[in-house]
Chains A and B, each alone.
Chain A
């Protein structure tokens, strides 16, 4: 058979960016014919949110899949070039100190798995929203999140060859006591409906607090010689700003669709601000205690990224819709002077059971803390470190053998104090169907009492250990179940990482000296 020569046709007309976007997103939407719309999107009614016009969703970024992949591939190429160069040049020796990596261990164990959880959750939104605009935006974010998980793992894997605590992060995340804080936060969001999830993660976490979580880690990296993490940070930053814009569009869309949505959204905002804020407690101690070279204090960071940008900027705009600042925000503002100290004090005494090490702040470090926190450090926290210094001088090291009482909601040990009184621990007790439950703050108690049926199922590490579900009821059995290896946990000074660091720095100095001698000869 002979084929007729192909007829020369006119070159297809190239669509404008806007038209292309329309064709590839909204143009691919269809009306179901053999099921109803309610059957196709079964999760959209029960939360009480009313959407009258899905087409009113303004797409903040007119991005198509081909443009998206091209752009992300370019960023990845740059990142992987930096990773290769860093590995080949033994870049890890240029960090400020091996102790810096405790911050990155916490990041890999605590934050990276959240990227994966976010990937799953946004995929759920991409399936369940009835509008093609938000569905496509959620799909892009879902892909971003799995990329972030992968690039974070690749970025930090180079350190795993030389340092402890980075070898078992997915299991750490599922099993270890302090990691139940971020894990339960995302599990809580995943078990919500699609609209609550959008406010929980898309808005409260990604918009309100992402700068408090993400920026401190990335600036910490740049201040401490961690070029790979800094490059990853740059690569992710443009995605993060897209996620923030999506979060803001989401809340405005829900508020504009129906007045009845306002009280529902306000309650979610009240709940999820506090849930997300409690997760950032781990970041607060990282900034003030874990970084050898400081970027800014938690207090400064909170004032800049939250009080200035959110309370003064965002919530003034949202007042137009009848939205008020989150219910317990005043408690968070009051806590900025004490939060990081209280959280590090927990980690310091329980780091024998953690995937990182801790150490007492040096005199210079304490001086910095005292300057950064003139109203609280010298009065309330320095005396504890002075006592620990005496304890260490007489051969001790404050590791608590007992297990801490945990908050039923945020799952952090009950270490926080009454608002405005740093000398009294905050204990809140609630009773539900004959059982008592404890929470660490007004915010967590309010969240518990709103949905006690949900939070009574919390997988609280201490309770699970006592039930024998974590390898056995004793501490050594639990540590084995955590799969901790020598050097992962405990005191930093004299640890495997610290000893190796001193040896490698000594070798590097000797090598430089010998080169100089040869050059001089």
Chain B
């Protein structure tokens, strides 16, 4: 269903990818702890490698959780499907799009 309006109604998204230049928004969801009230959103360069994304963005934040251990093995999902991040690959190469949600939990 589309909007009922007085006239033509077509305006761009206020958070479209082009507004972030070479970066994009990426959300990380710690699925096995409620310590974080919600998933956390980052602005990250699309050309950033997974290793840098992990070390520079995720770890400094996640360390605020007293139970977080960066060395623990983790499982990952992207759009709910299993996902294997590769350290040397960039976010774009890994298929992570603007505003995508990456899920993670400690491996069983």
Contacts and interface: CB of A to CB of B under 8 A. Distances in A.
Interface of A: 43, 46-48, 193, 342, 345-346, 349-350, 380, 384, 387, 390-391, 394, 396, 398-406, 413-415, 423-425, 427, 429, 435-438, 450-451, 453-454, 456-460, 462-463, 466-467, 473
Given A387-B67, A466-B25, 19 more contacts: A346-B37, A380-B34, A391-B66, A396-B64, A400-B37, A402-B61, A415-B37, A415-B38, A425-B29, A425-B31, A427-B101, A435-B98, A435-B99, A437-B99, A456-B11, A456-B12, A459-B14, A460-B15, A466-B41
B54 interface: no
Interface of B: 1-6, 9-17, 19-20, 25, 27, 29, 31, 34-43, 60-61, 64, 66-67, 79, 97-101
A454 to B, nearest CB: 5
B79 A414 contact: no
A398 B25 CA distance: 24
Give the 7 A-B residue pairs with the shortest CB-CB distance, closest first. A402-B40, A413-B38, A456-B13, A466-B43, A463-B15, A405-B39, A404-B38
Given A435-B16, A456-B13, A467-B19, A349 B27 contact: no
Contacts of B16: 435
A305 B13 CA distance: 38
SS class of chain B's interface: helix, strand, loop or mixed?
Answer: loop
A195 B75 CA distance: 50
A454 B19 CA distance: 18
B60 to A, nearest CB: 8
Contact of B10 (A43, A394, A453, A463): A453
Contact of B41 (A398, A405, A456): A405
Contacts of A405: 27, 29, 38-41, 101
A458 B29 CA distance: 22
Contact of B38 (A380, A396, A425, A467): A425
A400 B64 contact: yes
19 contacts: A46-B5, A342-B37, A345-B34, A384-B35, A394-B66, A396-B64, A399-B64, A400-B36, A402-B36, A403-B40, A404-B38, A404-B40, A406-B41, A414-B39, A415-B38, A424-B31, A427-B101, A456-B11, A467-B20
A454 B9 CA distance: 9
Contacts of B12: 456-457
A345 B40 contact: no
Contacts of B11: 453, 456-457
A458 B36 contact: no
B13 A435 contact: yes
Contacts of A387: 35, 66-67
A451 B6 contact: no
B33 to A, nearest CB: 9
A462 B66 contact: no
Contact of A436 (B2, B34, B35, B100): B100
A96 to B, nearest CB: 27
A413 B41 CA distance: 10
Nearest to A396: B66
B37 A413 contact: yes
Contact of B14 (A396, A404, A463): A463
A460 B38 contact: no
Point out which of A345, A405, A425 has the most chain B C-beta atoms below 10 A from its C-beta: A405
Contact of B66 (A390, A437, A458): A390
A404 B34 CA distance: 13
